[in-house]
Structure formats: C-alpha cells, structure tokens
Copies of this chain bind each other. A is one copy, B any other.
Amino acid sequence: MKHSPLNLFILLIPLLHSLSHATATVDQAGLLTALRRAKMQSQGEHTFNEKWFDNMSFEVDEETTDRKMQDDLMKDGLPGQPFPVKFKQFAGYVSVDKSTGRSLFYYFTEAVENPASKPLILWLNGGPGCSSLGVGAMVEIGPFGVKSDGKSLYAREFAWNKVANVLYVESPAGVGFSYSNATSDYELSGDTRTAQDAYTFLLNWFARFPQYRTKDFYIIGESYAGFYIPELADVILKRNTDKKPFTKIQLKGIMVGNGIMNDATDNNGTFDYMWSHAMISDETYQGLLKFCTSPNFNRTKCDLVQFAVDEEVGTIDFYNIYGPVCSHSNASKKAKCAQDYDPCELSYVRNYLNLPRVQEILHANGTNIPYAWDACSEMVHSYWKDSPTSMFPIYKSLISSGLRILIYSGDMDAVVPVTSTRYSLNALKLDVKKPWHFWVDDLGEVGGYQIVYEGLTFSTVRGAGHEVPRVQPQRSLSLLKKFIAGQF
C-alpha cells in the first residue's frame, strides 16, 4: 500500500464536532464540508492495494508480557462511580512498537454477570483520531457516563457489558492516552499502520488476558471505523492462517454502524439524504450532484456548493439531525424530553478524564503526554497517510471467509446516512437471502428495517443518529443481542 503523504487536512472526523461548544455552526457544517471535500479531492487516488498486508510487521510478546492482567485491574473501579458494581474493570497500556515506545491505551469492562460465558467485543470509534474510551465507553455503550460536574459517574442502563466483555482501545497512537515516544511516528498515521498496530495490540493484550483468547470475539464500532473494522478483521483472518497458537483469534463477526464504505456511493447518498430530509435547497442539491461527484468533480465549484450547504443548514447536529445541540443554552434541559441524552456530555467526559486522580486510577498517568486528553486528535487526522476509496475488496474477502457481518445505520445521521449505506450495499451487488423487512426490538416496537444478503446483513436503527447507541440505547442493545445470538 502506498505511503505517499496525502496530507488530508481533515479526512473524516465524526464526533469532533462535539468538542467545540461556542462555535457549533462552524464546527458541524465545516466538518461536513471538510470531510467530503478531502475525500472527493483524493478520489480515485487511493484504491485498495491487495498487498497492503505484506507491508505490515507485528511486534508480539509471544511468551511473556511486561505487565500482568492483575496489574491493570482498577480495584475500586473508576473515581466517582456509583456503588456497588459487580464487574471488574481494567485499564492500561499495551506496547505495539518497543523501538519507538508506541503504545495503545485500553479500557476493559468485564461482563456484569458471568464474564467467562460471555463473548469479547472490541469497540472502535472513528475519526480518524477519535477515542473509543471517551466517546464509545463514556457517551455510548460503557457502564458509566459522566455527570455534568465532570467528576462523578452515573450507571448506563443499557451498557453493553450487560451482554459481553467489552474492550475499548484508543487507536491509533496519538489518540487520547495512546502515544509514541517518537513524535515522527504520528506522521505515519494511516489505515495501514492503524490496522497493524491494532492487531499487534490484540495479540499482546491476549497475552496479558489469556482466558479471553478462547472467547468468541467481535469487532464493533462506527463511522470511520467502517474502514478500521474490516481492515483489522482482514489482518486477523490472514494471520489466523499462520496456525500459530498465539496468532489464533476467535473472530466470529463484525458490526459496523454508520460506517464509511465506498466514497462515491457514500457521497451520493449524503446529497440525497440532505435533500430528502429538507436540509438543503434544490439548487444546492443539484450543485452537489454536478460538481462534487466523480468524474466531474470541480474543486472550486464544489467548494462554493459546500459553502452553500453550510449556510443553508444552520446550527443543527449533522450527526443527529433532529437531536439537541450542545451549544444551545438550554440544550441540557431540553434533552430530557427531546431525545434522552445530554448533548454536552462529551465536555464532561473531557473534564473527567483530565483529572489527575482519574488518570492515576486508569494507569494512564506518568506518561508525560504534553497535552490534555481530548476526544479527538487533530494531529492524528492531519497526518493521515492512506485511506482507500472503497472497502469493497476487503468486504468481498471477509464474506467469502464466512465471517458474520452486520452493517447497521441510524437513520437520523446526515454524515454517513442510511441512503449512503443503501447505495453502497447495492453497488456491492450481493445476493439477497431475506428481503427487506422490519425487525422488532425488545419493547416490541419496529426497531428498524433489515435486509439479509448472502454473507452480510444490513439493519437500520429507527430514530437513531450517527452514534446509534447514544441516541437509541435500548434499541441498539436489542440489535447487539440478536447479532450475538446469531439471529441473522
């Protein structure tokens, strides 16, 4: 895979918008503009290289690990957490390159009940550059959320460790507490190195947590992890053929939520979504189709059209178009009855994870990272080296391997909207095994719609945004349970 510097200043930064509160307009609209523009400008340049795997190297602690599982145990749990909790939590660093000191930070929550009988989930957020700890664990699926005081935690009713053991990794190095001692390492950030490091991380983590090596293993995440997840699965399946005990990972399936998949169809779906959801004018819609799609992409004219998108749409959350916006003075109050989450929660998370006591308990202190913990890293995405235009080649390979694949989509997201994923899956041209139908959640309500292809299932989650479990926690846990139970 080529490593020429793309210098995509902003490639795809889901969740980053949540960081800024005073200037939500610029952030949200600006983000959409930036990510589409960057991807479109590079379109066709970065096709998938079948040999990408050959360029990877893995630094594995085959026999021993410098640190034991018990060393990472957080004996009293997280500071400010509600008591009592019945499950164990672990956190710490796993080295992925000793020469540069590159290490990934993880947080691991055992299942609430009988963890030995439960599968293991690796959760990955996107970006590139966003934290699975801060976003995934803290505002989406982890056992605790952070209260507005930035110090104390509340129990999340539909936490995913009610059905599985869940591992959150801040990936790649440069995100959250993950780091390298050689700052030049960050300049090599990209899809290839992310997959290589994530895989190395896994092998070393299993060495530290050997009893999880035999558990059914799932990789789940969202947004730009729509690339991370199939890429990591591809590496795992290829390495599994080595038939060495320490490289054998019991990967059973992947779930990808509102994930990018294939640039051209993802872009077209976004334009259609914005028009059909009455966000933009007819003229702007026509302009997007005319100037912002291949092969007639016109940078100057597309820039102007994207500017029109920003102007027209106004201050709404592109990631949840009917949801509350944090910047609004009473968003926090309104959230109680509009959609049941606090749009400002990520700012409480930032405060919490920067408390020295919290970092100490997480075993994240003492690394002397010269900047505060943040939910997304601009540095990482600004250096991003490689990002293919399509995941189709890897999906085809994964499907032929028999891996269980669930693509899901919250239908209130305008960033990687449900129309994009429908177009992408159509372009993938899979045979239909069970036609389009509704699926029913644990409450007996229509949870969304589903189509089962040969080797891949697509489910929408009705009334959910980009961060599906945040907006529809109960419904997304229903979906997870069904997937783990092998119901599709």
Give the residues in chain B near A338, CB-CB below 8 Å.
Answer: 339-340, 463
A280 on interface, CB distance cutoff 8 Å: yes
Which stretch from A97-105, A291-299, A314-322 is at the chain B interface? A314-322
A485 on interface, CB distance cutoff 8 Å: no
A462 on interface, CB distance cutoff 8 Å: yes
Question: A312 with B444: in contact, given A279-B449, A449-B278 (CB under 8 Å)?
Answer: no
Question: A462 with B281: in contact, given A276-B273, A337-B336 (CB under 8 Å)?
Answer: no
Q: Are A276 and B272 in contact, CB atoms less than 8 angstroms apart?
A: yes
Which stretch from A251-259, A345-353, A434-442 is at the chain B interface? A434-442
Q: In the complex, which residue of chain B has the Cβ closest to the Cβ of A337?
A: B340
User: How close is A319's CB to chain B, nearest CB, in angstroms?
Assistant: 15
- In the assembly, how many copies of this chain are there? 2
Which stretch from A60-68, A187-195, A418-426 is at the chain B interface? A418-426
Interface residues of A in 437-463 (CB under 8 A from B): 437-438, 440, 443-446, 448-449, 451, 460, 462-463
Interface residues of A in 240-260 (CB under 8 A from B): none
Cα A435 to Cα B281 with chains together (Å): 8
Interface residues of A in 255-292 (CB under 8 A from B): 272-273, 276-284
Q: Are B282 and A422 in contact, CB atoms less than 8 angstroms apart?
A: yes
Give the residues in chain B near A445, CB-CB below 8 Å.
Answer: 315, 325, 328
A313 on interface, CB distance cutoff 8 Å: yes
Q: Are B340 and A446 in contact, CB atoms less than 8 angstroms apart?
A: no
A132 on interface, CB distance cutoff 8 Å: no
Cα A444 to Cα B446 with chains together (Å): 33
A4 on interface, CB distance cutoff 8 Å: no
A411 on interface, CB distance cutoff 8 Å: yes
Q: Are A314 and B277 in contact, CB atoms less than 8 angstroms apart?
A: no
Among B322, B336, B409, B411, the residue within 8 A (CB) of A462 is B322
A300 on interface, CB distance cutoff 8 Å: no
Give the residues in chain B near A276, CB-CB below 8 Å.
Answer: 272-273, 276-277, 419
Question: A328 with B462: in contact, given A278-B411, A337-B340, A435-B281 (CB under 8 Å)?
Answer: no
User: How close is A394's CB to chain B, nearest CB, in angstroms?
Assistant: 24
A459-483 vs B: 1/0 string, CB under 8 Å? 0101100000000000000000000
Q: In the complex, which residue of chain B has the Cβ closest to the Cβ of A330?
A: B443
Question: A312 with B278: in contact, given A322-B322, A322-B463, A445-B325 (CB under 8 Å)?
Answer: no
Q: Are B277 and A411 in contact, CB atoms less than 8 angstroms apart?
A: yes
Question: A313 with B438: in contact, given A273-B276, A276-B277 (CB under 8 Å)?
Answer: yes
Cα A407 to Cα B108 with chains together (Å): 53
Among B277, B337, B409, B412, the residue within 8 A (CB) of A337 is B337
Give the residues in chain B near A311, CB-CB below 8 Å.
Answer: 437
Give the residues in chain B near A339, CB-CB below 8 Å.
Answer: 338
User: How close is A46's CB to chain B, nearest CB, in angstroms?
Assistant: 29
Q: Are B448 and A278 in contact, CB atoms less than 8 angstroms apart?
A: yes
A-B contact pairs, 21 of them (CB 8 A): A276-B276, A276-B277, A277-B411, A278-B411, A278-B418, A278-B462, A281-B451, A283-B435, A283-B436, A314-B438, A314-B440, A314-B446, A316-B446, A316-B462, A322-B322, A322-B412, A322-B462, A322-B463, A328-B445, A337-B337, A338-B340
